[in-house]
Amino acid sequence: MHRLSPDDNHRILIIDDNPAIHEDIKQILGRSSSSELEVVSTALFGESMASPAGLDYEIDSAYQGQEGLAKVISAVQHQRPYAMGFVDMRMPPGWDGLKTIEQMWQADPELQIVICTAYSDYSWSEISTRLGATDQLLILKKPFDLIEVRQLAATLTRKWTLARQARQRLDELDAAVAERTRELAEANARLDLLDHLKTDFLTFISHELRTPLNAMVAIDWLDPHGDPQEQAEAISLVRSGHERLEGLVTKGLAYFEWLATEEVETSEMTDLAKVIRLAAERLSSGMESETQVSLSAPDVPCLVLGEAQHLMEVVQILLDNAVKFSGAEKELKVDIHVTAQEVTLTVIDRGQGFSPKWASELFRPFTIPNMTYHSQGTGLNLALAYAIVKAYGGQLWTESEGVGLGATFNATFPAVPPT
């Protein structure tokens, strides 16, 4: 026979219009059982059915169905549900037992029920039709058998606990399956990205490499005794090609390194507003005079967890991208917003824009949207910015109302909580 464990739910509700029934059940289930019960239980089961020392059932009383329902609802709300209930079938003038059980199971579907009755008000078929086929319902005929009451209490409270543990375990398994599904989805997304890179990498990289390489090869055609101006132009072209190749290799290596980084662990705090101001100053100093950068930022530091050089890389990519595709307007707007949870950088240009369906594709390397926005392809810049932001626990996304209507890029980073 299972003995009660401190981890079991021992809470029992008695619903009966007869106060004597309450006293009888409480006496039967009390710690101080009668000597007759001790003797009989020992003879039948080889051990005492009395509660172990220091461990009691917690028993509440209700004398009508409505009162019982109110107690069940309150117990659930306070996260102290009853494990089982003894319910009388006849409780005039209020609800009968079936009505009471129907209402209680709506409030607490896990409740184990013992119907206590001395009459055959309903057949078992009628009860099953009303309450449904369930293993949470038993019938106990009055007058009570002492051993039977104690058996029911011990078994059903333990059953409630085991059922709760089983449901919790299923919830844990469901959560584990959901997490595994998410991990597999991310893995599949990475494989899709790699497939995309594998398919497009050679096509685009060959173009990126061939142009500067062709320029370098062309220097072989120069006459060493020829025009010094032509020689200087050729050397400049080779130097430019070298810089382009070096940048492409550097960007490619950085992108794949960040792509493999799931999360950056750092304690370095950086003022994002300061980084953006510096990047905007550098950008303005190298742009034509008609290009304007409008910066709106709080006067207070906008602290995020991140290394300044990485954040500068992201900011420069977004600003350079906006300038590149700003069109004839030559006007950029940069905003910084700070909340308790995150710092948001917004870069707005009034240039080419793109079809909204390409919003997520722009962060895939070497993507060429169909005659929209990046007519020459996205290259690696936006993909690299996306990988860095994601590794720092942030988000990067873009929006546009359509071709010719400009674009907005938003990057968020977790804010450093104020001290």
The CATH number of whichever domain residue 250 belongs to comes to: 1.10.287
Percent over 90 (pLDDT), the chain: 30
Say which range, 35-49, 53-67, 304-318, has the weakest mean pLDDT.
Answer: 35-49
In a domain, 179, yes or no: no
Q: In DSSP terms, which residues pair with 398 in a beta bridge?
A: 409
**Mean pLDDT calculated for residue range 22-26:** 93
Burial (Cβ within 10 Å: 0-12, 13-18, ≥19) of residue 367: buried
Helix axis angle, 308-324 relative to 272-285, nearest 10°?
A: 40
Other C-beta atoms closer than 10 Å to the C-beta of 100 total: 27
Of 139, 168, 197, which closes a domain?
168
Does 238 lie in the same domain as 119? no
Residue 101's pLDDT is what? 96
In a domain, 5, yes or no: no
Residue 230's pLDDT is what? 72
Binning pLDDT at 50, 70 and 90, where does residue 287 land?
low
The CATH number linked to 141 is: 3.40.50.2300
For the chain, give the mean pLDDT.
Answer: 80
Question: Which residues span the domain enclosing 138?
Answer: 11-168
Does 95 lie in the same domain as 130? yes
What pLDDT digit, counting tens, does each position of 76-88 carry?
A: 999 999 999 999 9
Q: In DSSP terms, which residues pair with 88 in a beta bridge?
A: 116
Residue 42's pLDDT is what? 55
Helix axis angle, 124-131 relative to 97-107, nearest 10°?
A: 30
Q: What is the Cα–Cα distance from 378 to 60, expressed in whole angstroms? A: 70
In a domain, 182, yes or no: no
More confidently predicted of 118 and 259:
118
Does 397 lie in the same domain as 377? yes
With 80 as the cut, is the pLDDT of residue 106 above it? yes
Residue 55's pLDDT is what? 44
Does 212 lie in the same domain as 88? no
Identify which of 49-58, 180-189, 232-241 has the greatest average pLDDT. Answer: 180-189
Of 107, 136, 168, which closes a domain?
168
More confidently predicted of 166 and 365:
166
More confidently predicted of 284 and 34:
284
With 70 as the cut, is the pLDDT of residue 95 above it? yes
Tell me if 329 sits within 8 A of 335, measured CB to CB.
no
Does 275 lie in the same domain as 252? no
**Mean pLDDT calculated for residue range 158-186:** 91
With 80 as the cut, is the pLDDT of residue 14 above it? yes
Does 163 lie in the same domain as 233? no
Say which range, 308-312, 326-330, 331-335, has the weakest mean pLDDT.
Answer: 326-330
Percent over 70 (pLDDT), the chain: 78
More confidently predicted of 201 and 152:
152
Does 310 lie in the same domain as 197? no
Does 318 lie in the same domain as 250? no
Residue 243's pLDDT is what? 75
Residue 374's pLDDT is what? 44
More confidently predicted of 290 and 73:
73
**Mean pLDDT calculated for residue range 342-357:** 85
Classify 79 in phi/psi space as left (phi over 0), alpha (psi -120 to 50) or beta.
left
In a domain, 280, yes or no: yes
Does 160 lie in the same domain as 36? yes
Residue 13's pLDDT is what? 97
Binning pLDDT at 50, 70 and 90, where does residue 34 land?
very low
Residue 8's pLDDT is what? 77
Name the domain count of the chain.
3
Q: Which long-range contacts (CB under 8 A, 24 or more apart) does 390-398 make?
A: 391/258, 391/261, 391/262, 391/263, 391/264, 392/264, 392/304, 392/305, 392/306, 392/310, 393/263, 393/264, 393/305, 394/342, 396/314, 396/363, 397/359, 397/360, 398/359, 398/362, 398/363
With 50 as the cut, is the pLDDT of residue 111 above it? yes
Q: Following DSSP, what letter does each residue of 314-355 receive, concatenated?
A: HHHHHHHHHHHT-GGG-EEEEEEEE-SSEEEEEEEE-S----
pTM assigned to the model? 0.50
Does 203 lie in the same domain as 164? no
With 60 as the cut, is the pLDDT of residue 329 above it? no
With 90 as the cut, is the pLDDT of residue 300 above it? no
Does 252 lie in the same domain as 129? no
**Mean pLDDT calculated for residue range 360-364:** 80
Residue 52's pLDDT is what? 43
What pLDDT digit, counting tens, does each position of 392-415 carry?
A: 889 999 998 888 788 899 999 988
Q: What is the Cα–Cα distance from 390 to 172, expressed in whole angstroms? A: 28
With 90 as the cut, is the pLDDT of residue 260 above it? no
**Mean pLDDT calculated for residue range 167-196:** 85
Indicate the helix (H) or strand (E) that contains 68. helix 65-77
Three-state DSSP class for residue 269: strand
In a domain, 393, yes or no: yes
Tell me if 301 sits within 8 A of 271, measured CB to CB.
yes
Residue 370's pLDDT is what? 47
In a domain, 180, yes or no: no
The CATH number linked to 355 is: 3.30.565.10
Does 150 lie in the same domain as 43? yes
Of 232, 259, 286, which closes a domain?
259
With 70 as the cut, is the pLDDT of residue 51 above it? no
More confidently predicted of 171 and 227:
171
In a domain, 211, yes or no: yes
In a domain, 183, yes or no: no
Residue 342's pLDDT is what? 85
Binning pLDDT at 50, 70 and 90, where does residue 214 land?
low
Task: Copy the structure tokens of residue 56.
Answer: 């009691």
